[in-house]
A and B are shown apart, each in its own frame.
Chain A
């Protein structure tokens, strides 16, 4: 089965609304990371969060490792938040950092 599951697959928000993106993984994995892909393709790291809660600006990442889930909360969304958000897990714990990505959540924020 799918090792990293993300939901929802897509999301449309009105500017100012909040959103929560979910990530569920199939093993007791480590190195959960969230990435944002710009509409043009550029990929940037948002969080490295193996457990607990981290905040950056309007974004909050929460990982509950023993429940095999993570979430990304976007507060007061802006049109510039539009893009695709990926959750990724290192399922191997190897030196090679073999990240397995979810299918992503496509977010569209309307003005």
Chain B
């Protein structure tokens, strides 16, 4: 069975501090991976997607970056957090050519 794991579950960080959020998918080979961001009470916005290791496409510029160092790992990071980065970050995967998008349980980020 496929599993998707996100870490950490929640973070409280200071403005200007660095951030690294992680996502791993087990049980699937070469999935398409995605990062989504959701402001409190808002809709979901796709940030990045990756079809293969080492390749990441940016969808929205929010002073964040993403990397895919391994087939089953997707990392979201920034060197300097802004207040506007607060929100809920969701990792998702889909098998290429498939229909259903599966989401992780998310990381709730509060920037103070």
Contact = CB atoms under 8 A, between A and B. Distances in A.
A44 interface: yes
How big is chain B's contact interface, by range? Answer: 20 to 34
Contact of B99 (A43, A48, A88, A98): A48
A56 B49 CA distance: 29
Given A48-B100, A102-B43, A104-B43, A43 B90 contact: yes
A101 B44 contact: yes
21 contacts: A33-B101, A41-B88, A41-B105, A41-B106, A41-B108, A42-B103, A43-B90, A43-B103, A45-B100, A45-B101, A45-B102, A48-B100, A95-B96, A96-B59, A97-B32, A97-B49, A97-B101, A98-B49, A98-B59, A99-B44, A99-B46
Interface of A: 31, 33, 35, 41-45, 48, 86, 88, 95-104
Interface of B: 32, 34, 42-46, 49, 51, 57, 59, 88, 90, 92, 94, 96, 99-103, 105-106, 108
